[in-house]
Chain A
């Protein structure tokens, strides 16, 4: 059974259709990449999955339950974790407290919630700054915190929105390692990314969005090789 299933999902803002009849499924533990030009509706798709915006049509099923009308909080508890494209830490709270909120309100139940958070901070390389205010973090650390906080909600599916954007090559490599280890632990991933080599080193399937429509979904190599993708996404004439 699919972990996440979208069936004919559409969303319009006035005359502008940002998500146009999108259907796809993600199996448990699977990693799906999403690419597409700016304004293709990638982040909107995430907001539909997390419940931050409601679809105009279609259904969204998660873990066998129709969540189309559920508010974001309930979906987090059910197991959908997300990181924001622009990091949104709780700036007056410490790094550790950022995770503590997520661990206490998210989908997991912990006997040792402090230890659970510290494990994630170790894994994401933030243990050293655990007691620092999150407002004082560097960009890389903020991106890591986005990831760590999403992990702390104990998700079955984690949504990553351009988490590698703006990082140096070395930083990017380290981040990929972390994401691979999350994936290896059995968490399903949907990842929106412009840094293609980072994306393709993790995902098993790749989806291309353009003007809100799903253009193609399948094996990353095949998708990247298709003439349509080259033309629309990479702007190459064929």
Chain B
């Protein structure tokens, strides 16, 4: 009963968000696009740090490689940007293999620093890629996004301009990717592998002694979240249309904000990043006019939550109301 209610609300929310390009303004579409992409990044980071214990501060490596792979697909190989998104995801997985090979030898803070260094190395390497503008970067050729597969269809169906249609398309892709990431995250955590991850989080030695292989499970999560982050990176830069190494591998935009969102929402809970991204967006809207003060306030809020509410706003909400969502519990089968 409660489950059906949750599902209905989720479906309504999804449909409501899907209708924004039809009923809302273009500014709303562009704003919500950024919110959804941050949500995708936060869902991935939460899976990584909150559930697999892999506190990476180098996820911008996968945003950046996804963006660059998409640009290469469009500019160098003449492919559709949508194909470029898929290539971005695959490129991120391929990059994740060597990064994991080195950083998985490290633990805790050393792992965090290792992932950051790796991301810097990738940024500096891609700045050497002259065909994509080297250190100064490059833009998507004029009209690329308007010629994207599906844009014409949306333009005719909804009677809007090409650029509005391309905004709508990227927005829907972001919405779809966010929904798929959330649902597949839930399914994954409820699976055998997800249960193994929770066991590792509780007690790694005991987990090994019942046959769970922590390295293998964590590596699987690392590669999967790299894929999701890479897809998101490619999608983001279709909308941004211009890529530079500094923007694509920005640790503040693609990792620090994402960590902030996850931590204030509730790390290690599935609804956490959703709550976090809403709060983050609200803060951004209210404080945007105050310049750097905005970042200072964000930082203070983050610190306060880490000190006084370690399970984030979702944790406070759950403790106060007793309402829990997306629980991962496995009930014991009833005996007749």
Chain A residues near B (Cβ < 8 Å): 50, 52, 71-73, 76-77, 81-82, 84, 88-97, 100-102, 104-107, 114-115, 117-118, 121, 127, 130-131, 149-150, 152-153
Contact = CB atoms under 8 A, between A and B. Distances in A.
A152 B212 CA distance: 13
Given A91-B202, A94-B332, A100-B330, A152 B210 contact: yes
B332 A92 contact: no
Nearest to B192: A104
Given A50-B209, A121-B332, 10 more contacts: A71-B213, A96-B330, A101-B196, A104-B195, A105-B210, A105-B211, A105-B212, A106-B211, A130-B332, A153-B211
B80 to A, nearest CB: 42
Interface string B208-240: 111111000000000000000000000000000
B134 to A, nearest CB: 45
Interface of B: 192, 195-196, 198-199, 201-203, 205-213, 329-333, 335
A52 B205 contact: yes
B196 to A, nearest CB: 6
Contact of B207 (A71, A101, A118): A101
Given A82-B209, A106-B210, A94 B196 contact: no
What 6 A-B pairs are tightest by C-beta distance, nearest first? A105-B211, A130-B332, A76-B211, A96-B332, A90-B202, A102-B210
B332 A90 contact: no
B332 A88 contact: no
A96 B213 contact: no
Contact of B199 (A101, A152, A153): A101
Contacts of A107: 211
Contacts of B213: 71, 73
A149 B196 CA distance: 14
Contacts of B331: 96, 131
Contacts of B335: 118, 127
A127 B333 CA distance: 10
B327 to A, nearest CB: 11
A65 B205 CA distance: 24
Contacts of B212: 73, 101, 105
B329 A84 contact: no
22 contacts: A52-B209, A71-B208, A76-B208, A76-B210, A77-B211, A82-B209, A88-B203, A88-B206, A90-B203, A92-B201, A93-B195, A94-B332, A97-B195, A97-B198, A101-B195, A101-B196, A105-B196, A105-B212, A115-B333, A117-B332, A118-B333, A149-B210
Nearest to A108: B211
Nearest to B210: A102
A97 B194 CA distance: 12
Nearest to B197: A101
A118 B209 CA distance: 20
Nearest to A88: B206
A191 to B, nearest CB: 16
Contacts of A91: 202-203
Given A94-B332, A114-B333, A101 B210 contact: yes
A133 B333 CA distance: 16
A86 B213 CA distance: 22
Nearest to B212: A105
A84 B209 CA distance: 9
A71 B201 CA distance: 19
Given A97-B195, A118-B333, A89 B206 contact: yes
A174 B50 CA distance: 40
Contacts of A95: 332
Given A88-B206, A90-B207, A97 B192 contact: no
Nearest to B201: A92
A94 B330 contact: yes
Contacts of B208: 52, 71-73, 76
Nearest to B209: A82
A204 B143 CA distance: 83
Given A100-B195, A114-B332, A118-B332, A93 B202 contact: yes
Contacts of A106: 210-211
Listed residue (A100, A104, A153) with the most chain B CB atoms within 10 angstroms of its CB: A104
B273 to A, nearest CB: 20
